[in-house]
A and B are shown apart, each in its own frame.
Chain A
Amino acid sequence: MFATRHLFRLIAMRHVGRHKLRTLLTLLGLIVGVATFIFGPTLAASITSAFDAASADMAGRADLEITGPDEGFRQRTLAIVRGIDGIALAAPQAQTVAVLSGQSEPLVIFGIDPSVEPTVRSYPLTDGRFIQHAGQVLFTTAYARERDLQLGDHVTLIAANGSRTFEVVGLLAASGIGRLNNGDVAIMRYQDAQDLRGNANLDAIAITLKPDITPDTVIDRLRANLPDDLKIEAMQDKRGPLEDIRNVLSFVMGFSSLMLLSVGATLVYNTMTVAVAQRRTEIGVLRALGVSRRSVRNLFLLEAAVLGAVGTMLGIAAGYALVQSAEQALDLGAIFNTGANLKVDLSVPGWLPIAAVIAGIGLPMIAAWLPSRSAAQIDPIEALSGVHTETDFMRMKRRRVIAAIGLLAVSIYLLANKSQGQSMPQIISGQLLMLPGVLLLLPGLIVALGRIVPALMQRLFGITGLLAADHLTKRPRRMTATAMVIVISVWAATVVSSGNFGYHRFIDEWNASQNVWDLTITGAGPSPFRSSVSLPTTLIDQLLRRRDITAIVSERRKKIETPRGDFEIRAIDLTAYQAQGARFLWDKGDEAAAHARLIDTARPAVLLSSFASFAQDLQPGDTITLDTPRGPVQFEIAGTILSAIDPVAIGEASLIMDRALYRRVWHDDHVDRLMIKLTSGADAQTVRRDLQHDHPDGGFAIIDPAQLSASIDAAIFNMSITSQVLSLLLLATMTLGIANTLVIEVLDRRREMGLLRALGLRGRQVASSLVLEVTLLVIIACALGLPMAIYTNYANSLGIGEIFAIRFVLDPIEVAASLGLILVSATAASYFPARQAGRVDVLEALHCE
C-alpha cells in the first residue's frame, strides 16, 4: 500500500498533470454527470416536499378529516360529529374559489369557524387581527402588497353566487395556511364562504381527538353515524394527487442522471484504456523492478478514483449552481401545476451529495476495472522489448452476439405481446432490454463492417478514407465506448424530438379541430382551460341579445370522485358543438355511432379521455357508475378521445357528456365556458370591449383562438424544456467523449502518423482521415440508434402516448435536424484533435516511444 502510494504520486499524478487536455476532458464529462445527478433528484424531491408541506399545513394539528362529494355535505353533519365520544374539537371548513374585483387570478377562499379554527391550524399574522365577524377577511401579506391592499380596505370578491364586499382586518405570514395557492388565499367565516358559493354545505371537518383514544376507534364510531358518501381519514394516511407524478418524476430524473453519470464513466474508461496502452513500457519496467500485478492494478484504479473524486467535487458545485439557476429561471410552480399552484423551493436533499460522491467515485472505478486489470496482465518482456502483440483487435464474439439477440428478442416479445395487455412495467422492461442488446451488438457490427467498408471508403475518399475505415473497423476497441455514447445520444435525441414533435402536432390537430371559435369566454382561473369560477348568468343573457353572435355553445366542468378514481365531467352542448364544425380528437370506438349515442339522453353515455381509458382500463362498451343527486347512474362509454386541453393536467381524466343529460341528472345550470361564433364581418375585439365595459368587476376572461393556442404553446414549452435540457446535456457529454477519445488517439498514434507523413501523406490528409473516422462512427451509430428510437416510439405510443395524449411520431425533418446536430457536434469535436494530428512533427513522432 505504501509502495502504491509512492508510485501513484510519482507516476500516475504526474501523467495526469502532463496530459492536461485529456484530463480536463475526462473531468468535464464527470462534472456534467454529477451535476445532473444533483439537479435531477433535487427537482423531484423539492416538488414532492412542496406538496407534503402544503398537505401538512392543511392538516395542522388535526387527527382526522371528514370530506365529501364535490358539492359538499350537509351542515348538520357537524352537530353529529361533535356528539361523537372521543372527539375533542370539530372544526368546519367551506372552500370555494373567487376572484378579486378587477383581477383574473383565482383566490382560494378558506371558510372557517374562528372560534375553534386557531386551535387546529396556525394563522401567524404580520399585522391586524384575526377574523371575528361576518364580512371580514384575511389576506396574505404578499398578496396584499402586490395589489396595494391595506388594513381597513373594503374589497369585492366575485364567485359563483355573485359578488360580496369584505373588510381586510388582518394580514397572514407566508407560513401555515398562508402558503396555500402560492399565497393567493383569503380566510373568512365559513358562512361567508357558503354565501359566496351559493350553498350551505361544508367541504370538510377537521377533528382533534381526546387523549388516549385511537383514531381507528373514532373512525368506526363516525362511520356508524354518518352517511356512506362521506370519507373519513386519518391525516397520516392522506395521499396527495402528486403521488403518481412524484414516482414518475423521481424515476425519470434518477434514470437520466444515472445515464449521464455512466456516460461520464465511459470517458474514464477511454482515458484509462489509452493510458495503459501508452504506458506499456513503463508498466513493464515496474513489473521488472518487482511491482506486483496487484499493485499495478491498484495504481490505475487509484488514478480513476482520484479523477472521480475531483470530478465529483466540481460536479457537486456545478449541480448546486444548476439548482440555483433553475430556481431563478424557471417557474416550477407553473410547470408542475396541478391546480394547487405549489410554491417550490429547490433544496438539495442531505443524502444526495453523499450519494453523488459514492456514484461519482464508484462508477469511474468500475469503468477503470477492465483497463486496470489489463495493465496488471501485461507481459513485462513484451512491454520492455517494445513488441506489442496486437490485443486491440476485436473479433465477433459468438457469445456476445447470442446474448444481444436474446435480449432483443425478449424486448420485442414484451412490446409486441398484446395478449396480456400492455402494462407500464412491461413497456419499460421492453425498452430497457433493448438498449444493452443493441450495445452488445455494436463492437461485432463494427468488426463485421471491416469486410466491406474500407474498400468502399477508399473508393469514395481515397487513402484518407481507407485509413479511417481500416483503423475504425480493425481496431475498434477504443472507439467502442465512444460509439456507445453516440448511439445513446442518437436514440435519446430522436425520441425527445419525436415527443416534442408529437406535442406540437397535437397542438396543430387541436387547433384544427377544437379551436374553431371566434371567441371563448371562460371563468377566471389559472389558465384559459382551467376556470375557477362559473360565468355570471347576466353575461349569458347579454350575449343572447347580441345580433353579431350566430352561435353560443355552453360547457360546464365538474369534478367527481368515484371508486375508480377522480374524473372531471365536461358537459357540452354537443349538437351545437358539432354543428359549428368542432370535433374531438378521436381515439377508439365508432365515432359516428358514439356521437349519436351521446345525444340520446334516455340512455346515459359518455366519452372517456385516453388517459382515463389507460389508467382505469376502461374501453368503449364498458360502463362507469357515477354518484349523482339522483343516486348512482350507470353511463356507457361510447368512445375514447385524446384529451389534453390543458397539457399540464397530467393525471386528469375527462368524461365528455351532453349538457342536456348533465342538467337532467345533476340539476346544475352553471356554465364555466362559452364558445362563440360571430356573424360574418363581425369584429371580435368590439364584442370583447363591449362585454368588458358592461362587466367591470370581471370574473371572466375573453380569449381569441390565437391566445388559446399561445396558452397551450407556453404550457408545452415548460414541459418540453426539461427534456430539451437533458438532450443538450447528453449532446455535450457526447461531444466531450468524442473530443476526449480523439485527443488520446492522436497522442497514441503519433508514431503511426509520423510514419504516414514520412511515407508521403500530407498533414491535411492525416487530419481528414481522423475526421472521416469519426463521421463513419456517427453514421454507424445512427444506423443503430435510429431503429432503436423508432422502436422506442412504438413502445411509448402504446403506453405513455395514451397517458400524455400525444402521438409519438417521427417527423423526418426534425429527425434529420437532430441527427445533423449530432454530426456537426461530432465533427466540431474532432476539429482540434485532427488539426493536431495533421501537424505532427515527423522526426519527433518517429523518435518517440
Chain B
Amino acid sequence: MSAVILTAVSKVYHQGSTPVQALNNVTLSIADRQFVAVMGASGSGKSTLLHLVAGLARPTSGEITLFEQTISALNDDQLTHFRRTHVGLIFQSFNLLPTMSALENTALPLLINGARMRDARQRAGDYLEIVGLSDRASHRPDELSGGQQQRVAIARALINDAPLLLADEPTGNLDSKTGEEILQLLHTLVNDRGRTIIMVTHDPRAASYADRIITLKDGQVMSE
C-alpha cells in the first residue's frame, strides 16, 4: 500500500508581488513502512514538500493522499485533526515547549487529543523509555543536550501512534555522533515499529540510512 501519494502537486508562494514556484508538478508515491530521504540544495523545495505532506500548507494545484485520505480536500479543522492522528513531526530545532518537562512535552499530543493527564503521563513515560530518556523525564528542555531534546521530540512524534513521521533536518543541529544515534533510532522505528518516515536532509551521510532517496531540484523530482 502507498502511504503517501502526490499527484501533479505544485506550490507557488508569493514574496511580495513576486511568485516563487517552490514545487512544480511533482508526482511520487511512498510505500508504507519505508524510510525515505528527500535531498536537494537550499531552495529545491524539499521543506515545502514536507510541509504539504504534513498538511501545514495546501498545494496550489494537484492532490495529496495520505493512507487513502485525500488531505488536499479537507478543511482546516479536518486537516488539523488528521494531522493529530496520522502524522508525527520532528524538527531541526527540536521545538520543545520551554515551560514543560520532557515528560510533559512527550505527553502533549495525547493531551491535545483529550486524554487524561494521568494516562498521558504514563504513556509518555513508556515512550521516553523507548528513546532511552526515562531518567530525564522531569527535566526541562534547557536542561537537556541537543541529542536528548531531539529524542524527546521523537518520543512526542511517536506517542499518538501516528503511522507517518516527517523529519525536517533532524540532525541539523547535532554533532555527528549524536546525529548518528538519532538516525539509528529512526531506522529502528521503521523496521521494528512499522512506521513510514520521510526525512528531509542535505547530508548524504544521513540520507544513507534511508531505504530510498528522492532528489529535488528547482521544485522538481530529479531522481528517486
| Residues of chain A having any CB pair with chain B under 8 Å | 2-3, 6-7, 10-11, 14-15, 18, 281-282, 284-293, 295, 380-381, 384-386, 849
Contact = CB atoms under 8 A, between A and B. Distances in A.
A290 B100 contact: no
A287 B57 CA distance: 12
For the complex, would chain A's binding face be called helix, strand, loop or mixed by DSSP majority?
helix
A290 B56 contact: no
Contact of B56 (A14, A15, A292, A381): A381
B184 interface: no
B52 to A, nearest CB: 10
Contacts of B111: 3, 6-7, 10
A290 B74 CA distance: 14
A286 B83 CA distance: 11
Interface string B150-180: 0000001000000000000000000000000
B112 A291 contact: yes
A281 B111 CA distance: 19
Interface string B29-57: 00000000000000000010001001011
B149 to A, nearest CB: 13
26 contacts: A2-B114, A3-B114, A6-B111, A6-B117, A10-B97, A10-B99, A10-B100, A11-B97, A14-B100, A281-B95, A287-B56, A287-B80, A288-B54, A288-B83, A288-B89, A289-B83, A289-B109, A289-B156, A290-B80, A290-B113, A291-B112, A292-B77, A293-B76, A293-B80, A295-B112, A381-B51
Given A3-B113, A10-B99, A10-B104, A384 B80 contact: no
Contacts of A292: 76-77, 80-81
Nearest to B100: A10
For the complex, would chain B's binding face be called helix, strand, loop or mixed by DSSP majority?
helix
B161 to A, nearest CB: 13
Q: Which of A3, A18, A284, A849 has the most CB of B within 10 A?
A: A3
A290 B95 contact: no
| 3 interchain residue pairs of minimum CB distance | A290-B84, A14-B99, A6-B111
B84 A289 contact: yes
Contacts of B56: 287-288, 380-381
B123 to A, nearest CB: 14
B95 A3 contact: no
B108 interface: yes
Contacts of A285: 95, 97
Contacts of A384: 91, 95
A289 B88 CA distance: 8
Interface in B45-101: 47, 51, 54, 56-57, 76-77, 80-81, 83-85, 89, 91, 93, 95, 97-100
A18 B99 contact: yes
Given A287-B80, A381-B56, A11 B112 contact: no
Contacts of B156: 289
A780 B59 CA distance: 47
A15 B77 contact: no
Given A288-B56, A380-B56, A7 B112 contact: yes
Contact of B112 (A18, A284, A289): A289
A293 B80 CA distance: 9
A442 to B, nearest CB: 28
Given A381-B51, A384-B91, A290 B97 contact: no
Q: Which of A14, A15, A284, A288 has the most CB of B within 10 A?
A: A288
Contacts of A287: 56, 80
Nearest to A380: B56
A286 B156 CA distance: 12
Contacts of A2: 114
A289 B82 CA distance: 10
A288 B89 CA distance: 7
Q: Which of A2, A15, A18 has the most CB of B within 10 A?
A: A2
A295 B113 CA distance: 12
Contacts of A6: 111-112, 117
B27 to A, nearest CB: 23
A107 to B, nearest CB: 70
A290 B91 contact: no
Nearest to B77: A292
Nearest to B91: A384
Contacts of B95: 281, 284-285, 288, 384
Nearest to A389: B15
Contacts of B80: 287, 290-293
B112 A290 contact: yes
Contacts of B104: 10
Given A286-B112, A289-B84, 9 more contacts: A3-B111, A10-B111, A14-B99, A289-B109, A289-B156, A290-B84, A290-B112, A292-B80, A380-B56
B114 to A, nearest CB: 5
B74 to A, nearest CB: 13
